[in-house]
Amino acid sequence: MTGWPLLLMLIVAVFFTSLLSGVFGMVGGLLLLGALLVILPPATAIAVQGVLQICANASRAWFSRDFIDWRILAISCLGLGLAAGALALVDYTPSLVTITLVIGLMPIMVWLPRRWLALDASRPSHALISGALSGGLNLAVGVSGPTTDIFFIRTRMDRRTVIATKAAIQVASHAVKVLFYWRSTLHLGGAEWAMVLVSAPFALFGTRAGNFILVRLTDANFRRWTRWLVTAVGGFYLAKGIWLLVQ
């Protein structure tokens, strides 16, 4: 698929996945990466998804900037730096099977009983672990939403603070991811990058539409729907990963 059909597919994918992320703070990145993996090699797909997700998350963080917890953001970024350094030392390279299997298993985390993992991003030590774990996974497989979520979904912060703080953390994480995989994007031509740049503003439109829905969603429904959506998307990735492994 090339030319206008590919551009149209990218625009639609960027808009609707950004809308989902605008409402739930995650899920959208999972689906967008899946769409990009259809047309690009794993490392390139992760980098391009990072570029598009920076636009979506930056706009979401900006629209909710008054609710960002800057202390949690700073500590999480420290953990992200530690994870990036570790992966750089081992010269990590992603594979499609690894990506799909790991993403497929991520939803398990959002269903674990609270007494098993009493994680709270408002605690400095937990914020550091969150930054290292979710940042490392974002670099390794392209997404980390469900992992980040287990540190936020059980906090006493309201949904707006959760969405805003997670969005700011994701901006930093995706920026590091783009730098980490920059060499894998060097083979992309001007036409491919033009498509990415043209579709990028639709991340802003989708995020804005999602924010409109978010303010009308209750905290209880927000947490309930987040779990089920992540589980559904994770199930798809897991099935695909098992199929690739068998093949």
pLDDT string in tens for the chain (247-residue length): 456 777 888 888 888 888 887 777 667 778 888 888 888 888 888 988 888 888 778 877 888 888 999 999 999 999 999 999 999 999 998 889 989 988 888 777 767 666 677 788 888 999 999 999 999 999 999 888 667 777 887 677 887 888 889 889 989 999 999 999 988 887 777 777 888 888 888 887 887 787 778 777 777 777 777 778 878 888 888 888 899 888 7
- φ and ψ of 147, to 5 deg: -70, -45
- Please tell me the distance from the alpha carbon of residue 135 to that of residue 34, in angstroms, as a whole number: 19
- Please tell me the distance from the alpha carbon of residue 175 to that of residue 169, in angstroms, as a whole number: 10
pLDDT of residue 135: 92
Q: The pTM is what? A: 0.80
Q: Which of 155, 150, 159, 163 is nearest to 61 (CA)?
A: 163
Degrees, nearest 5: CA angle 73-30-39: 125
pLDDT of residue 114: 64
* Cβ neighbour number for residue 193 with a 10 Å cutoff: 13
Total structural domains within the chain:
1
106-132 CB burial, b ≥16 within 10 A, e <16: bbebbeeeeeeeebebbbeebbbbbbb
State both tokens at 99: 């990506």
> Where do we find the tokens 């609270």?
114
- Please tell me the distance from the alpha carbon of residue 96 to that of residue 99, in angstroms, as a whole number: 5
Class of residue 148 by CB neighbours under 10 A (exposed 0-12, middle 13-18, buried 19+): buried
pLDDT of residue 26: 64
Range of the structural domain that residue 190 is part of: 3-246
Phi-psi region of 3 (alpha: psi -120 to 50; beta: other; left: phi over 0): left
State both tokens at 158: 């309201």
